[in-house]
Structure 1
Amino acid sequence: SSIPVSAREPPGVQLLAVPAVSVDRKGPKEGLPMGPPPPPEANGVIMMLKSCDAAAAVAKAAPAPTASSTININTSTSKFLMNVITIEDYKSTYWPKLDGAIDQLLTQSPGDYIPISYEQIYSCVYKCVCQQHSEQMYSDLIKKITNHLERVSKELQASPPDLYIERFNIALGQYMGALQSIVPLFIYMNKFYIETKLNRDLKDDLIKLFTEHVAEKHIYSLMPLLIEAQSTPFQVTPSTMANIVKGLYTLRPEWVQMAPNLFSKFIPNILPPAMESELSEYAAQDQKLQRELIQNGFTRGDQSRKRAGDELAYNSSSACASSRGYR
């Protein structure tokens, strides 16, 4: 009554048949190969590392399929079961999704609604990191953003002087706003490739790109216009001046030396403390500013309790303190 050895089921077939049925019933979500779900919280990065390590270990340890183990399972199903993402899969499926999302984030205006699935993009990055495509993904991201910034720089070069400051402010604000979404989407690549292998940070790298491909190319055209605008009140709105000056200081603090007085209006402690011998000069500057404001239609409110002619000659000590309040 014993079964002959030749009639027994080949080893491995029964083990492969069970998970095959289970996987076929569940099916992949949104057309992506199945993989371990990304941790929901930032403090779950250890779980992600373990799952990535486990996936890599399984891929390395899995023996090459034999004839007996592939009787009922074709090559594509075997790849699916192992959750393998080849470089071809990455280039044809995963990176195009990331590329399109980055395009939208880089070109959105403040307050725009971007019709992309952040969950899907986050999942794409996570799976590519687990499958050892971090280096390629980082290279593609840097190349993508570099090309975008070079186009931005060329557009600024073609801007007329009267629009130059405002357009630079828009480009700077749009890019910094995009980084607030791009950097979190690539958090796993940053954690397990850039920080670990390159000893850098993704946000710092992307800010450096704007410095090199935009700010450095325009600083010597932009700075004279900013200085000129400073000497003419409200030629440029105060908010625009503040955004640009603070942004330039963030990109490269040493640019302060190009226009210390300009930067001191928006960045504290740029200039050394005032000397007593300079107080009269600050008072004169303050009075000059008042005259310019009055000439442009600005008043200081209710003057009923002041004598005629006192609009400009009020408490010089408070004027000095006001002048140094920016420093």
Structure 2
Amino acid sequence: MEESMEEEEMLSYEAMMDDQNHNNWEAAADNFRQPPPPPPPLPLPPSSSIQDPGREAPGGQLLAMPVGSVDGKDPKEGLPLGPPPLPEPNGVIMMLKSCDTAAAVTKAASAPTPSSTININTSTSKFLMNVITIEDYKSTYWPKLDGAIDQLLTQSPGDYIPISYEQIYSCVYKCVCQQHSEQMYSDLIKKITSHLERVSKELQASPPDLYIERFNIALGQYMGALQSIVPLFIYMNKFYIETKLNRDLKDDLIKLFTEHVAEKHIYSLMPLLLEAQSTPFQVTPSTMANIVKGLYTLRPEWVQMAPTLFSKFIPNILPPAVESELSEYAAQDQKLQRELIQNGFTRGDQSRKRAGDELAYNSQSACAGSRGYR
């Protein structure tokens, strides 16, 4: 009988403990799923409570303690007053909590801060805004350069051109920085080549009496334009033509005029220049000097076509004078003077010149004029 009673008591005790463990597990799980509500405010103390005069509440009110309490603790259990403590979760719940906490910390650490994201997007957008695509170059930048080059190539000496050199210089600089130098150089060569071909056709249609003068205008206009075009494209010249092509922009542009204008007209121009030389003042001396010096700049070997003509405007073209040819030089000078007199030019007052000085003067002037100065 005693053994059977002990077995029943043991079974009932185990059942009670199972129920209690089950309830504790459910309570802990519920606490993990949902945060516990805040503890309710403490009830007002009963009328039999004793106030501790040495302790005050934050608002200046005295804290009340129940009768029989010691230092705010229950005299029976010695625990501080307040809401009952929450049940502690077992090891499984703690493991789940720790995993979630670690994941949250990792996610917060890996997420970029708003300030860094804004800075990256801003810098990227600024960089993309400064990019010049090939479409932008063709539609925006090259048309500005094209219009400015047109005005520079067609201006007359001394004319004012209403263009912004700073704006054109800035366009060239930006295109060079955006790796459009090759395209810009190709467009510039095509543009100037087209202009020179048009100039050549106009010269071919000129009558002989205007041919020399119009050639002089075309040559002077083009050389004057180069004085503005070359500085405007200085960045392209420095960072593309000189670096990659091993050439110079001014030399390339002068070569274009030589190939498309001068070479096509030199054999028509030279006979007219020699004829004008034999007839004094048929062409103004300034025009003759500009053309002869210009041709020598374009291609020095053209001197061999008319050495005497080039020697009148460019020093050291002919070999130095020799004494055996002084009489020939004097005869040439006298011939020139007679031609000038026939065309209405007088020699001025010769009454003060002594007899015999004229031959010596003519010989010296002929040597200086025919053989150049050394």
For the aligned pair, the TM-score class normalised by the smaller chain equals: 0.7 to 0.9
1:175–1:318 distance in 2 versus 1, CA, 3 Å: closer
Residues 162-189 of structure 1 deviation map (CA, whole Å, 9 limit, x = unaligned): 0000000000000000000000000000
**SS of aligned partner of 2:161:** coil
1:191 aligns with 2:238: yes
Q: Note the C-alpha offset of 1:275.
A: 2.4
Distance 1:30 1:288 in 2: 147
Q: Compute the displacement of 1:105 (Å).
A: 0.2
Q: Structure 1 residues 292, 58: CA separation in 2 closer, same or farther (over 3 Å shift)?
A: farther
User: If the length of structure 2 is used for normalisation, what is the TM-score?
Assistant: 0.65
Q: Is the 8 A contact 2:132 2:175 kept in 1?
A: yes
Q: Cα–Cα, structure 1 residues 305 and 252, in superposed 2: closer, same or farther, change >3 Å?
A: same
Conservation of the 8 A alpha-carbon contact between 1:150 and 1:213: yes
Shift of 1:11: 44
Tell me how far apart the structure 2 counterparts of residues 63 and 156 of structure 1 sit (CA, whole Å).
76
Equivalent position SS for 2:357? coil
> Which deviations, in whole Å up to 9, do the C-alpha atoms of 1:136-172 show, x marking residues without a partner?
0000000000000000000000000000000000000
Tell me if the contact between 1:249 and 1:255 (Cα under 8 Å) persists in the aligned partners.
Answer: yes
In structure 2, the CA distance between the partners of 1:245 and 1:158, relative to structure 1 (3 Å rule), is same
Q: Deviations over 1:51-86 (max 9, x none)?
A: 999999999999999999999999999376541000
Distance 1:265 1:100, change over 3 A: same
Residues 216, 290 of structure 2: 8 Å contact kept? yes
Say if 1:125 and 1:188, in contact at 8 Å, map to a contact too.
yes
Contact 2:333 2:362 in 1 (8 A): no
- Compared CA separation, residues 190 and 320, structure 1 to 2 (3 A): closer
- In structure 2, relative to structure 1, the CA distance for the partners of 1:316 and 1:257 (3 Å cut) is closer
2:9 alignment counterpart: none
- Residue among 124, 127, 130 paired with 1:83: 130
Q: Percent identity over the alignment? A: 93
Superposition deviation, residue 40 in structure 1: 78
Change in 2 beyond 3 A, CA 1:32/1:177: farther
Of 133-142 and 38-47, deviating more is 38-47
Mapping for residues 3-82 of structure 1, pairs under 5 Å: 78=125, 81-82=128-129
Identify if the C-alpha distance between structure 1 residues 289 and 315 changes in structure 2 by more than 3 Å, giving closer, same or farther: closer
Deviating 4+ runs (over 6 angstroms): 1-77, 307-313
Tell me how far 1:219 sits from its aligned partner.
0.4
Taking structure 1 as the reference length, the TM-score comes to 0.74
Q: Is the 8 A contact 1:39 1:45 kept in 2?
A: no
In structure 2, relative to structure 1, the CA distance for the partners of 1:247 and 1:68 (3 Å cut) is same
Contact 1:56 1:130 (C-alpha < 8 Å) held by counterparts:
no
Shift of 1:20: 69
Q: 1:189-240, CA deviations, whole angstroms, 9 ceiling, x for partnerless residues?
A: 0000000010000000000000000000000000110011111100000100
> More displaced, 213-222 or 4-13?
4-13
Moved more, 92-101 or 23-32: 23-32
1:3–1:76 distance in 2 versus 1, CA, 3 Å: farther
Range 213-222 or range 52-61, more displaced: 52-61
State the alpha-carbon separation in 2 of the partners of residues 284 and 11 from structure 1. 131
Q: Distance between the aligned counterparts of 1:312 and 1:53, measured in 2?
A: 121
User: Residue 91 and residue 317 in structure 1: after superposition, are their counterparts in 2 closer, same or farther (change >3 A)?
Assistant: closer
**Matched position secondary structure for 1:22:** coil
Contact 2:280 2:339 in 1 (8 A): yes
Shift of 1:306: 3.7
Q: Structure 1 unaligned runs (5+)?
A: none
With over 3 angstroms needed to count, the CA separation of the structure-2 counterparts of 1:307 and 1:80, relative to structure 1, is: same
Cα distance in 1 between the residues matched to 2:84 and 2:167:
11
Relative distance call for 1:292 and 1:91 in structure 2 (3 A) is: same
How far the C-alpha of 1:298 sits from its partner, in A, is 1.5
Q: Counterpart in 1 of 2:306?
A: 259
Shift of 1:277: 2.1
Structure number with greater Rg is: 2
* Whole-Å separation in 2 of the counterparts to 1:96 and 1:16: 88
CA-CA distance at 1:325 after TM superposition: 3.9
Moved more, 20-29 or 313-322: 20-29
Contact 1:55 1:130 in 2 (8 A): no
Deviation at 1:304, TM superposition (A): 2.5
Shift of 1:320: 3.5
The 1:7–1:26 alpha-carbon spacing in structure 2 relative to 1, beyond 3 Å, is closer
- Number of residue pairs matched? 327
Question: Are positions 1:107 and 2:148 aligned together?
Answer: no
8 A contact 2:333–2:366 mirrored in 1: yes
Range 270-279 or range 67-76, more displaced: 67-76
How many angstroms apart in 2 are the aligned matches of 1:119 and 1:29? 95
Partner of 2:372: 325
**Are the equivalent residues in 2 in contact too, given 1:230–1:262 (CA < 8 A)?**
yes
Bigger mean CA offset, 263-272 vs 116-125: 263-272
Following the alignment from structure 1 to structure 2, what is the Cα–Cα distance between the partners of residues 227 and 265?
12
Q: Distance in 1 between matches of 2:88 and 2:285?
A: 40
Q: Deviations over 1:117-154 (max 9, x none)?
A: 00000000000000000000000000000000000000
Query: Unaligned stretches of 5+ in structure 2?
Result: 1-47
Q: Is the 8 A contact 2:296 2:302 kept in 1?
A: yes
SS class of match (1:150)? helix
Residue 302 of structure 1, CA deviation: 2.2
Q: CA RMSD in A?
A: 24.2
Q: Which one is further off, 59-68 or 312-321?
A: 59-68
Give the distance between the partners of 1:264 and 1:237, measured in 2 at CA. 17
1:179 matched to which residue of 2?
A: 226
